[in-house]
Structure 1
Amino acid sequence: MNRREFSKHATLMGAAGLVLGASPLAQAQGMAPVEGTNYVRLSQRAPVSAPAGKIEVVEFFWYGCPHCHHFDPALSAWAAKLPADVAFRRVPVAFRENPFVIHQKLYFTLEGMGLLGSLHMKVFNAIHEQQMKLDTVDAITDYLVKQGVDKDKFLAMFNSFGMQNKVKQARALAEAYRIDGVPTLGIQGQYFTSVSLNGTPDKTLATVNFLVDKVRKGK
């Protein structure tokens, strides 16, 4: 989903389904991913926060994006089997103030509270399968309390000064990667790829693996 689609469908956060682009011929024939077709090389490198010796993969996403919801199960399964030299993390994007920033803070608060494992996919499902409008602080808080989350602890972290810094850092990284649609994956500050460039989640992750290997070999 790109910026134009976000604007057009701002009130349709519960929309379901994934609109896929045509499958690139190179991958359809089992060939290696092609630069400019299946992935893009950044003209200027983006910052990397992974420890030395690790190859960083970043998924840029939004909880309200149906494409991201569709992609997440395949991405999570891929992330669970990463080799030791790959560091994966998610970064929520904000193409405008609301509800994007609220969702950014929601993700980072769940991360800070150690609740992503139990609640990340539940939030996606609440929005896209249960048609819940989690687009205000009150709606989000009410939902999380029903999931057993401590309201006071959640709000304290959600509204903290440190949270504002996380939001700023997320915005800066998305700008460095030139993100204009999600889900998009950045690799070691050098490349990005997406489902729209590859056609399916599996082909997208195959391209990510290809790019990780390029970085690993210093190409």
Structure 2
Amino acid sequence: MFKLISVITLASAILISGCSEPKQNVQSAKSGQVDISYEEGKHYRLVNNINVGELKAPFLVEYFWLGCPHCQSFEKPLQDFKSANPEVGFIRKHAVLSEGWVNDGRIFYALKETNNMAHFAELFDLYKSGINDANFDAFFTKNNIDKAAFLETAGKNENVINNMKESYEEMSANKMTSVPSIVVNGKYLIIASEDTNNNDKYFKLVNHLLKK
């Protein structure tokens, strides 16, 4: 399909669980559920040195991969939460912990760099349905995006490269080894557990941490 050369050196020693499945996409929590006393180390853990620019709490940071089926499944409940909570800021960072994810990271950050994020949902759906040469070309034609210039940005633009390096360094330094991963207010990384194994319970913890 498209071929871009990585300029990021990935640490070979890191163990990657990769696109692991968050358990939040199962049946809804039953009504009348007993409140949970959330515990650090069980439900969430502290992370640091997450660059969020000038964004102020409350906000979420999502680390994801365009090709991850679990990230794709998580997108609708995430967007539903964002729609219901417009006061909560949001940053999305593309994971590049695996060399196989680097080209997709370049595509994502080039979309931002070329001011085409309005087409992100369409691109994500393309990955979900199965991206190939034909529909990838059609994406550029439909949205009047210069494909050659776009790929030049993806391959060589300094901001694209720096964004990927930043994502890699943040995830590796904080031992984040799977996607999707949600960090609340730049501090609290949600841990998969029985208490976050459906959307209702997962976002209940998100709301708790947003107010923490």
TM-score when normalising by structure 2: 0.74
Pick from 60, 65, 75 the counterpart of residue 63 of structure 2.
Answer: 60
Question: Residue 29 of structure 1 corresponds to which residue in structure 2?
Answer: 33
Question: Residue 179 of structure 1 corresponds to which residue in structure 2?
Answer: 176
Aligned-partner Cα distance in 1 for 2:108–2:36: 34
Aligned-partner Cα distance in 2 for 1:164–1:140: 25
CA apart distance, 1:196: 6.1
Aligned-partner Cα distance in 2 for 1:143–1:177: 38
CA apart distance, 1:178: 2.2
Question: Residue 96 of structure 2 corresponds to which residue in structure 1?
Answer: 94
Question: Residue 104 of structure 1 corresponds to which residue in structure 2?
Answer: 105
Within 5 Å, give how 1:132-211 maps onto structure 2. 132-133=131-132, 142-148=137-143, 149-159=145-155, 160-193=157-190, 198-211=196-209
CA apart distance, 1:164: 0.9
Task: Give unpaired runs (5+ residues) of structure 1.
Answer: 8-17, 215-219
Aligned-partner Cα distance in 1 for 2:83–2:76: 11
Question: Residue 43 of structure 2 corresponds to which residue in structure 1?
Answer: 39
Once the two structures are superposed, what CA deviation does each residue of 1:188-210 show, in whole Å capped at 9, x if it has no partner? 23211156661123322221111
CA apart distance, 1:3: 3.4
Cα RMSD over matched residues? 3.3
CA apart distance, 1:75: 0.8
Task: Give unpaired runs (5+ residues) of structure 2.
Answer: 1-14
CA apart distance, 1:90: 0.6
Pick from 8, 16, 24 the counterpart of residue 3 of structure 1.
Answer: 16
Aligned-partner Cα distance in 2 for 1:169–1:31: 37
Aligned-partner Cα distance in 2 for 1:19–1:189: 20
User: Quick one: structure 1 residues 178 and 203, their matched pair in 2 at CA, closer, same or farther if it must change by over 3 Å?
Assistant: same
Give the structure, 1 or 2, with the largest relative contact order (CA under 8 Å, sep 6 or more). Answer: 2
Q: Tell me the matched-pair count.
A: 192
Q: Percent identity over the alignment? A: 23
Secondary structure at the counterpart of residue 58 of structure 1? strand
Which residue identity does 2:90 align to in structure 1? F
TM-score when normalising by structure 1: 0.72
Aligned-partner Cα distance in 1 for 2:191–2:142: 32
User: Quick one: structure 1 residues 79 and 33, their matched pair in 2 at CA, closer, same or farther if it must change by over 3 Å?
Assistant: farther
Does structure 2 retain, via aligned residues, the 8 Å contact 1:50–1:87? no
Deviates more, 1:67-76 or 1:142-151: 142-151
Secondary structure at the counterpart of residue 3 of structure 1? coil
Secondary structure at the counterpart of residue 99 of structure 2? coil
Question: Residue 15 of structure 1 corresponds to which residue in structure 2?
Answer: none
Does structure 2 retain, via aligned residues, the 8 Å contact 1:195–1:201? no
